[in-house]
């Protein structure tokens, strides 16, 4: 899944841009985060499929005046700092964080959608988002 950040402006935040794009491209889009006011806003989406599918969708969004930026940031787990408490596990919306059989914290990077819920919750700053 490719992740993108869409920025809405005054001109298009009242328009049903997302549904138009989905109808046109028939893409499967997963809304990961949305904070849209009537005059501006951002939305983070995951586009299901390969790079070619994603490109098509991005093009369509740009046609309607949205700013599109690919999120290439990666989650990082500092195993030296981590104390395997698991405070992050229940907060992860995609089950990217889990315990292994020995109750050691495991991170599956591919599942991460950079929501940062775990970054804030980690008591010892063992989790971070890096570019």
Partner 1 sequence: MKTIEDINKKIRNGTAVVVSAEEMPDIVEKESAKKAAEKVDIVTTGTFGAMCSSGLFLNFGHADPPIKMQKIWLNEVEAYTGVAAVDAYIGATELSLDRGMEYGGAHVIEDLLLGRQVNLRATAYGTDCYPRKNIETSITIDDVNQAFLFNPRNCYQKYNAATNSSDRILYTYMGTLLPGRKNLNFSGTGELSPLNNDPTYDVIGTGTRIFLAGAKGYVVGEGTQHNPGKAFANITTKGNLREMNPKYLKAGTVADYGTTLYLGIGVPIPVLNEQIAKNTAVRNKDLKVTVFDYSVPRLSRPAIREVDYETLFSGEVDLNGVKARASSLSSLKIAREIVKELEDWISHKEFYLTEKLEGLPKDTVFKPMKMSEKITSISKVMTRNVVTANEGDSIEKVCNTLVKKGVDQIPIVDSRNVIKGIVTSWDITKATATGRKRLDEIMTKKVVTSSPDEAIDAVSRKLEKHSINATPVVDGKGVVVGIVTLSDINKFYRGGK
Residues within the interface to partner 1 (CB under 8 A): 10, 14, 38-39, 83-92, 98-99, 102-104, 117, 120-121, 123-125
Cβ-based nearer residue to partner 1, 44 or 115:
115
Instruction: Tell me the closest approach of the beta carbon of residue 25 to partner 1, in angstroms.
Output: 27
- Smallest CA-to-CA distance from 46 within 1, 5, 11, 96 is with 1
Distance (Å, rounded) from C-alpha 58 to C-alpha 117? Answer: 26
Cβ-based nearer residue to partner 1, 49 or 86:
86
Instruction: Tell me the closest approach of the beta carbon of residue 38 to partner 1, in angstroms.
Output: 5
Instruction: Tell me the closest approach of the beta carbon of residue 56 to partner 1, in angstroms.
Output: 31
Cβ-based nearer residue to partner 1, 72 or 102:
102
Instruction: Tell me the closest approach of the beta carbon of residue 115 to partner 1, in angstroms.
Output: 11
Cβ-based nearer residue to partner 1, 14 or 65:
14
């Amino acid at each position: 899944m490719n992740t993108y950040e869409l920025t809405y402006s005054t001109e298009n935040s009242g328009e049903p841009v997302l549904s138009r794009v989905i109808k046109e491209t028939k893409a499967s889009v997963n809304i990961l985060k949305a904070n849209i006011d009537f005059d501006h806003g951002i939305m983070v989406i995951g586009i299901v499929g390969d790079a070619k599918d994603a490109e098509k969708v991005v093009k369509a969004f740009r046609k309607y005046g949205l700013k599109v930026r690919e999120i290439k940031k990666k989650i990082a787990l500092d195993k030296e700092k981590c104390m395997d408490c698991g405070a992050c596990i229940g907060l992860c919306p995609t089950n990217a964080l889990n315990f292994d059989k020995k109750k050691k914290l495991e991170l599956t990077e591919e599942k991460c959608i950079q929501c940062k819920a775990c970054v804030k919750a980690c008591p010892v700053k063992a989790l971070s988002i890096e570019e």
